[in-house]
Amino acid sequence: MKLIKVEHAYKIYKNGTTAIADLSVTIDKGEFVFVIGSTGSGKSTFIKMLYREEKPTQGSVIVGGIDVAKLRNSKVYKLRRKLGVVFQDFKLLPKLNVYENVAFALENLGLPNSEIRPKVLKAIDAVGLKEKTRNLPSELSGGEQQRVAIARAIVNEPKLLICDEPTGNLDPTTSKEIMAILDKINKESETTIIMATHDKDLVNQMKKRVLVIEDGVLVSDTKKGSYKVNESDKNSKKKHS
């Protein structure tokens, strides 16, 4: 079953930068997909269109049956409730502890506390932070903070988990731990995961589907692919204007 269907999508920013050009791709339910490419190639833009942070300028982006291009601003929340997003900079609320940060997602949806509690504890357990439920983000390591962010993203059991360079701020060992958690989430709950990254080693280890974007164009799409070091090095040198 297709979860994501992108057809001839373009993204041209207001300043004239073409970030995505004629990109078409489909992603099935339960897949784990890496999106790689040199800096400025359009990975984040592609990902932003999936959760409707950006609208495609042209073409269609359909996520979980919702046509992102046609989605009105006031209805964006309907799409967001079907997916979770994780960023490089965690985006945690510094004054809330681990439990509160994760519960925050559900509180805003109007769930009763009796339903929130078991879901939050389950998500915290899934990322292995049971012992630190009452800690503030400032009392956690980078890897642990990212795990809180992942717990918050999966607490409402979304079909799709979108990650934009989730290991970008982490050392290799911690990155591997995060990858193990994502892999587990993908396998155990059949959550589709799309992850943009720069980390060659991680991609090569995981042997998942790899989409390579260069200058906004999807240049390769391989099952059990790997980071083509030479190709991306070559492309990163000729920056488009």
Partner 1 sequence: MKAIRILRRSIRDSFKSIFRNFSLSMASIICTTITLILVAISLFLSYNVRQITTTLEHELTVVAYFKRDVTEEQKIRIENDLKTMENVDEYRIKTKEEWKAEMGKEQEILETTLDYLQDNPLLDSLIVKVKDVNNLKGVAEKLRKYDFVENAEYGEGMVENIIGIFDVISVGTIAIVIALVVVTAFLISNTIKLTIFSRKTQIEIKRLVGASNVAIKLPFVFEGFFLGIFGSIVPVLLSIYGYTILYNTTGGYLSTKIMTLVEPFPFVFIVSGFLVIVGSVVGMIGSWLSVRKHLKI
In the list 48, 152, 208, 228, the residue contacting partner 1 (rule: CB under 8 A) is 152
CB neighbours of residue 20 within 10 Å = 29
Is residue 230 a contact point for partner 1 (CB under 8 A)? no
Which of ligand ATP, Mg ion, partner 1, none binds 229 (CB below 5-8 Å, type-dependent)? Answer: none
* Contact present, 27 and 203 (Cβ < 8 Å): no
Min dist. Cβ of residue 47 to Mg ion (A)? 8
Select from partner 1, Mg ion, ligand ATP, none the partner in contact with residue 103, using the beta carbon and a kind-dependent cut-off of 5 to 8 Å.
none
User: In whole angstroms, what is the distance from residue 120 CA to residue 16 CA?
Assistant: 43
Distances (CA, A) of 142 to 17, 86, 121, 162, 166: 33, 13, 20, 19, 11
Residue 13 or 77 having the CB closest to ligand ATP:
13
Give the tokens for residue 129. 């932070």
Q: Which is nearer to Mg ion, 42 or 126 (CB)?
A: 42
Q: Which of 2, 8, 81, 239 binds partner 1 (CB under 8 A)?
A: 81
Residues binding ligand ATP (CB under 6 A):
13, 15, 17, 19, 37, 39-45
Nearer to partner 1, 12 or 111 (CB): 111
Q: Say how far residue 156 (Cα) sits from the centre of its chain.
A: 15
Mention every residue, 6+ apart, whose C-beta is less than 8 A from residue 30: 186, 190, 191, 192
80 binds partner 1 (CB under 8 A): yes
What is the radius of gyration, based on Cα positions, of the chain?
A: 18
- At its nearest, how many Å lie between Mg ion and the CB of residue 17? 14
Contact with partner 1 (CB under 8 A): which of 14, 15, 108, 223?
108
